[in-house]
A and B are shown apart, each in its own frame.
Chain A
């Protein structure tokens, strides 16, 4: 049996496939959250960026794959609506999280410097997150419209 046949061969029926997908999905998100937690803890413990590079790269690769695949499939989110108001709220939450992280990370430098650093990082994160969310939302809407209104005639349009 060659590799192509091996991957084509399927031992599972439709219900087992659905169950497997749920397990894999749960596994992906558990790993994603744990990897993020590990990166946060390591950065607070003073690990050098070089020591965290591999984990960061894997984390970003997983996140980028998930986002790009969703956009390509014309999927946004299960619960959140794609609009500017939601993007503001989500990006502010990201900014606040980074602000808190900055406060803890730079606490040893003194209150004034820690707050200044945390504010700068929090605001930068908020702006960056908001810009990325807006760009993603535009890409999602474009892709969603393409999928909903295919150019070529299909059964529905005939």
Chain B
């Protein structure tokens, strides 16, 4: 799985750390880290939570061209 740089960029744009995002969506920092590194495929529910917090759509963060 490729790295999710779009997620990392969206998080950084809001000046959020991995720990901040993890706390808001209710997961551990290692899970956010694994998603950004492409090591973990999150459930649709977690994807939606992340999108809601970062103000992005699923396509913008998780769609691979």
A: number of interface residues (CB 8 Å): 4
- How many inter-chain residue pairs (CB < 8 Å) link A and B? 19
Q: Bound complex: CA of A15 vs CA of B46, how far in Å? A: 10
Does A13 lie at the interface of the complex (its beta carbon under 8 Å from any beta carbon of B)?
Answer: yes
B: number of interface residues (CB 8 Å): 10
A13 contact set on B, CB distance < 8 A: 26-28, 31
B46 contact set on A, CB distance < 8 A: 14
Interface of A is mostly: helix
B30 contact set on A, CB distance < 8 A: 15-16
Does B55 lie at the interface of the complex (its beta carbon under 8 Å from any beta carbon of A)?
Answer: no
Q: Bound complex: CA of A14 vs CA of B28, how far in Å? A: 9
Q: Bound complex: CA of A13 vs CA of B30, how far in Å? A: 10
Picked from B28, B42, B43, the residue with its CB within 8 Å of the CB of A16 is: B28
Which 9 A-B residue pairs are closest in the complex by CB-CB distance?
A13-B27, A15-B31, A15-B40, A13-B31, A13-B28, A14-B43, A15-B34, A14-B46, A16-B28
